Amino acid sequence: MGGCNQREVGERPVAQLIPDIAQLKSCLRMGVAGGYTPAALIRLAQTLSYATLAEGGSVLVAGTAGGHWADLALQDVALPIQRSSIVLQGAGVALVGVGPHYGYALVALPMESLEREADLQLHDAHWSCAPEDLLALSERFENSIPMLQRAALQRLQPPPSHILLQIAHQALDFAARQHVTLALANRALTERLRHHEDQTRMIVHDMRAPLHTLLISLKALQRQGFDANARDELIEVARESANYLLSLTETVLDSARLETSSWSLQLQPANLVALIKTVCEPFRQLVHPDQPHVRLELPSELPPILLDQHLIERLIANLVSNAVKFTPSGGEVVVSARLTHDGHSVELRVSDTGPGIPREAQERIFDRFYQARENDRRRGTGLGLCFCRLAVEAHGGSIMLESEVGRGSNFIVQLPVR
């Protein structure tokens, strides 16, 4: 059969039943007690049902009305059994199964506040297959449930030892597997928390320098005696520091929003060639002895594509600034774009003549907070390339890296033409 043949019995007045389900635990004197999660209780209830009710029988569910672990356990039990239910006061659930030869009782009460997440809540559980325990349990119900008539219970026998061993083995095996799973999850979460704490300290550290520069510039501007050129230089330094802080803050926030899919793309037809020129123009105009030359290789035009212009502008700026930062003086950064895949996508490529990226780092280069050059004084927060990946994927595109140590890097972005 595909599941329990659940024949519900009408709920009876609480006054005719047990005033408190916790009293049922004291009836199970010959059973086993322990702390169980809801998942372990589901597996235990199913194991007990298959071990004792293989030839059919009945199961009574006593406790709160619906929505608890017992419902989940019984709905997947493929046995010819009938189910009846009664509602009791207080938290907790009791299952009583009676078959032609054997039976079982399982009582579980929450050990923690019901406000906790249900899947993680620990229960104080007692279970027994001893006929005398089931008889003692039936007395608590005052014989008000037909399936718990004493005549039926008196015919029950203790299950053979191999059945009890099978029940214990499956319960212990599931508990062991659950323990290992939780231990691995805890280790992964601990490592992730430690990693994020390290990166948070790094972000704060990276914010200190531009903040100090900004404050020094503002204090200097408060003084008198500066000529117009010196004043303009201080204002420009302050502006650059403020822009860096704003960019870092936006990258942190936007990366988090893109990771959780809470970003709503503002798609509009855009001219990608014009967009690239606008973003790259400041890099091309900035003349500094330590900065490589930035060159554009763009077609006269590309078909308009639907883009979130804010995201794509920052994507291009991140890739170009990254290439400029790691390319030595005398080197070159090339930004190009072209149609690919028979006009169904546009390829944006940012190439540099920098030191390249080691092969072992290339698979993780787009991960959050990952840095390929941990000892490089120019290293950043490790958020820029992660943001680029998230922004491209949000557009239904892809980003990849081609790099060889000593021969530079190529970051290749594919965006669909819609």
Per-residue pLDDT of the chain (418 residues; tens, 9 = 90+): 445 444 443 344 433 445 467 778 888 888 888 888 888 899 999 999 999 999 888 888 888 765 578 888 888 888 888 888 887 777 788 899 999 999 999 999 888 665 556 667 888 999 999 999 998 888 777 655 554 566 777 889 999 998 888 888 888 888 788 788 888 888 888 887 876 776 677 667 667 777 888 888 888 877 766 677 777 888 888 888 888 788 777 777 777 777 666 567 889 999 999 999 999 988 877 666 678 889 999 998 888 899 999 889 989 988 998 899 889 888 999 999 999 988 889 999 999 999 998 888 888 788 765 555 544 444 444 577 888 898 899 899 999 999 989 889 999 999 998 7
Which among 25, 184, 42 has a CA at the least distance from the CA of 109?
25
How high is the pLDDT of residue 176?
82
How high is the pLDDT of residue 11?
41
Q: Which domains does the chain have, with CATH numbers?
A: 14-159 (3.30.870), 187-259 (1.10.287), 267-416 (3.30.565.10)
CA distance 219 to 169: 74
Q: Name the DSSP class of 113.
A: -
CB 366, CB 335: distance < 8 Å? no
Residue owning tokens 């003549």: 353
Residue owning tokens 């329990």: 4
How high is the pLDDT of residue 319?
92
Which among 19, 12, 16, 21 has a CA at the least distance from the CA of 105?
21
Count of C-beta atoms within a 10 Å radius of residue 50: 15
How high is the pLDDT of residue 5?
45
Residue 253 Cα distances to 14, 206, 245, 261, 384, angstroms: 54, 16, 12, 12, 12
CA distance 128 to 99: 14
Alpha-helix residue ranges (DSSP H) falling in 127-227: 131-140, 150-154, 161-222
How high is the pLDDT of residue 401?
92
- Burial string for 359-376 (b: 16+ CB within 10 Å, else e) reads eebbeebbebbbbbeeee
**Residue partners of 204: CB distance under 8 A and separation at least 6:** none
How high is the pLDDT of residue 142?
61
Residue 88 Cα distances to 25, 45, 123, 160, angstroms: 14, 19, 17, 33
Residue 76 Cα distances to 7, 42, 70, 85, 172, angstroms: 15, 10, 10, 17, 21
